[in-house]
Amino acid sequence: MAEILLIVNAGSSSIKFKLYRALADDVETLLGGALDGIGTRPRLRVKGHDGEILADQSFEPAAIASSAAAQHCIGDWLTPHFAGHEVIGVGHRVVHGGPAYSHPVLVDDEVLRTLESFIPLAPLHQLTNLDPIRVVRARRPDLPQVACFDTAFHRGHPELADRFALPRALFDDGVRRYGFHGLSYEYVSGALRTLAPEVAAGRVVIAHLGSGASACGLSDGRSMESTMGFTALDGLPMGTRCGTLDAGVVLHLIEQKGMSAAEVGHMLYHQSGLLGLSGISNDMRELIASDRQEARMAVDFFVLRVAQAVATLSVTLGGLDGLVFTAGIGEHAPEVRAGVADRLAHLGVRLDGDANAAGSLRIDGAESRLPVFVVPTDEERMIGLHTLRLLRGSA
């Protein structure tokens, strides 16, 4: 009987999942899928390891109105596929580990209560990350569950990178720069070490550009600083999140515009970013395809902020030996990569136009001083490896 792992990556409107065969010290994909459009246009799609379509089913919005309902639906679909296998554990992406957790942990009542206390730090994600854990606990209370944190990869930051210029007592109380997308950065940095070990051993910036976006500066594979801070609002502009913002704007909106804290929070998380800039869409593909000036401005704004972040992180690192693009926009938007490279020409970045258009693994031109890569991320695989190691006792 084969041992298998279920990996769950729950977002604000979708749940991605993969089923892996657990090997001695590695995982092998059996199938993977996603339930997208939770509460709006729910659709379950699943593919086998060979690309065969195993499921493609749509639902009424009321039938899948929450991440908990989505997890029940996924569980019902998966149950027949567990036949002949032993499920040894479930691994989950949890965005915020706060000051409490710097490594993956087995979930028990105390851990769950602690993670619930971090919901205000990541309101878009933390609650939906925890819902599937509760569903699995109710359905299979005997099954070990492992929480893997997006903040953990950054916990070794130098103190200068973790501080805000605020009273010290707040830092001691947990108000600090945590950084996010750590599971993605950990996977991509490991892939880069295999692909180009001499680059990975140096000073590298990885740009994780998706609906959520950030950049991370690494030295020999270790996170030194990230653009995201205390919450997942900070840093680069995102699909609907504002990114870096003068704190005085928040005070102005509350004190002068009469907005409540909840109204400001909703605007910053749900109505800002590419959507707010363009007034058209939060989808980079739509903005690139549009001929409207507002769309062009939003794309240019995003490109400028990404280039600025790379340059800033190069100062933290004391130089730059490589640049990596990953995640949805980073992997699939050559226009964005080209724009960022153009703005980093003073650092010696030059792209090969054909390689960039094709989304090749390496896209720098012959005259480029820096190697530039496009490395697909795989957060689910990283979660799977962490879960396996913890359950095997080798974490």
Catalytic residues: 150
Q: What are the C-alpha distances in Å from 394 to residues 66, 149, 240, 381, 390?
A: 35, 18, 39, 17, 6
What is the C-alpha R_g of the chain? 21
Do the beta carbons of residue 182 and residue 151 sit within 8 Å?
yes
3-state secondary structure the chain: CEEEEEEEEECCCCEEEEEEEECCCCEEEEEEEEEECCCCCCEEEEEECCCCEEEEEECCHHHHCCHHHHHHHHHHHHHHHHCCEEEEEEEEEECCCCCCCCCCEECCHHHHHHHHCCHHHCCCCHHHHHHHHHHHHHHCCCCCEEEEECCHHHCCCCHHHHCCCCCHHHHHCCCCCCCCCHHHHHHHHHHHHHHCHHHHCCEEEEEEECCCEEEEEEECCEEEEECCCCCCCCCCCCCCCCCCCCHHHHHHHHHCCCCCHHHHHHHHHHCCHHHHHHCCCCCHHHHHHCCCHHHHHHHHHHHHHHHHHHHHHHHHHCCCCEEEEEHHHHHHCHHHHHHHHHHCHHHCCCECHHHHHHCCCECECCCCCCCEEECCCCHHHHHHHHHHHHHHCCC
